[in-house]
Amino acid sequence: MRCRVKVEWENEDGDSETAELGQVETGSCLTESDVGLKLVAAQEIMVRLQRVVTTQQLQRRCQAARCCPSCRAPRNVKDYRTCTLDTVLGRLVVEAPRFGLWAARSEVTFEAALALTRAARTSSSATQVRS
Confidence category of residue 33, pLDDT binned at 50, 70, 90:
confident
Number of domains the chain contains? 1
Domain that holds residue 111: 2-130
Q: Are 94 and 55 in contact (CB under 8 A)?
A: yes
Q: Are 110 and 65 in contact (CB under 8 A)?
A: yes
Instruction: Average the pLDDT over 76-82 and give the result.
Output: 89
Tens digits of per-residue pLDDT, 41-71? 888 999 999 999 988 888 888 888 888 877 7
- Using the CB atoms, write b or e for 42-74: b if 16+ within 10 Å: eeebebbbbbbebeeebeebbeebbebeeeeee
Confidence category of residue 35, pLDDT binned at 50, 70, 90:
confident
> Is residue 116 over pLDDT 90?
no
